[in-house]
Amino acid sequence: MQTRTLGKSGLQVSAIGLGCMGLSFAYGEAPERKDAIALLRAAVDLGVTFFDTAEAYGPFTNEDLLGEALAPVRDSVVIATKFGFKAGVARDGVDSRPENIRAVTDAALKRLRTDRIDLLYQHRVDPAVPIEDVAGTVKELIAAGKVRHFGMSEAGAQTIRKAHAVQPVAALQSEYSLWWREPEAEILPTLEELGIGFVPFSPLGRGFLTGAIDASTTFNAKDFRSTLPRFAAEARDANHVLVDRIGEIATRVKATRAQVALAWLLAQKPWMVPIPGTTKLSRLKENIGAAALTLSAEDLQRIERSLADIKVQGERYPASLQLNVGR
């Protein structure tokens, strides 16, 4: 697989990474541990070098899973994890106090079976802690050799600037896809100006853009999507026109909807690295195949024209989870 560098950080990763949350958390029943480990090791064999986790995924179990799966190839992969929630539980609120950042980092190192974290993100901005203090704490962890690079997630442009002035931000992770393009307004220009890489999560719209979900789909009670306004049945029904249009493009370029959605992201900026997640080997191979799909200028223009009149229905988060997004 091709590689990309996240901004000016020098951090080089596979052009498509693997979002690992779903292997432990959020999307219904998690796979058996042995099957999850097999998938992670298959990803390595297929050329993926960039793996994304967080203490909140489980909580804690996802980091432990990656630690076991990637231990044999630790020096060949880049592991990103995150701090920022109280006791690792998102619904309990944010916590980016310096003492918590240090404690979370030490605990993550043990679970990941490693002596350094390649990319440590603040999972969500904590309004009670100055971002300069957060960046300064991570700077200390970098000096101590426990962390290599600092990242942020779902942060606003001004907060990114303040943090970057204290400790260079290697990458911002936020949602971005053909059905959520809000980062184009202010975030992407800011990242380009500062030389910060971008890691789009949910690049396939939490599975919606693949065409596998429609108004009749039912979600397991443990599936996070059952709580999201954008995944209410009426929103799914209204938004299916987007999937249909992507399908038309996919037929034209002889690819799948997922591959078109990922290739579109790769075409936006050379410092952009999407991290689709999956629990299935067939989907993993399909997603990785997008790295070999080059959309022409005409293809990209056709996508813009085809989707221009579509207004996606439904908020992406319920109000309680929207509070610390974009601060």
Q: Which of 38, 22, 104, 98 is nearest to 72 (CA)?
A: 38
Please give the Cα distance from 306 to 321 (Å, whole number).
31
Give the CA dihedral 235, 227, 55, 287, nearest 10 degrees: -30
27 is catalytic: no
From the list 57, 121, 176, 317, the catalytic residue is 57
How remote is the C-alpha of 267 from its chain's centroid? 17
How remote is the C-alpha of 219 from its chain's centroid? 21
C-alpha pair distances (Å), 291 with each of 34, 157, 255, 287:
27, 29, 12, 8
Give the residue numbers annotated as catalytic, written as ranges.
57
